[in-house]
Amino acid sequence: MSVSVVETLDPQETEALGAELAARLRDGDVVLVRGELGSGKTTFVRGAARALGVTDPITSPTFSIGHRYRATHTTVSHLDLYRLAGGLQAEDPGLLDDYLGPGRIAFVEWPAADSAELSSARLRVTLTHRGADRRRIEVAEG
| 41 touches ligand ADP by CB under 6 A | yes
Backbone angles phi, psi at 107, to 5 degrees: -115, 125
**CA–CA separation, 73 vs 71, rounded Å?**
6
Binding segment toward ligand ADP, per CB under 6 A, in 21-29, 34-42, 63-71, 91-99:
34-42
Query: How many residues of this chain bind ligand ADP (CB under 6 A)?
Result: 17
Query: How far apart are CB 63 and ligand ADP at their closest, in Å?
Result: 16
Q: Where are the alpha helices (DSSP H) in 32-97?
A: 41-51
**CA–CA separation, 102 vs 114, rounded Å?**
22
Query: How many residues of this chain bind Mg ion (CB under 5 A)?
Result: 3
Q: Which is nearer to ligand ADP, 11 or 87 (CB)?
A: 11
Q: Which of 22, 39, 71, 111 binds ligand ADP (CB under 6 A)?
A: 39
Site residues (CB under 6 A) for ligand ADP, limited to 81-140 = 109, 133, 135
Closest CA to 124 of 81, 7, 132, 110: 110
Q: Which of 8, 39, 42, 74 binds Mg ion (CB under 5 A)?
A: 42
User: Helix, strand, or coil here: 3?
Assistant: strand
Q: Where are the alpha helices (DSSP H) in 31-134?
A: 41-51
CA 107 to chain centre: 3
The binding site for ligand ADP (CB under 6 A) comprises 8-11, 13-14, 35, 37-43, 109, 133, 135
Binding site for Mg ion (CB under 5 A): 41-42, 60
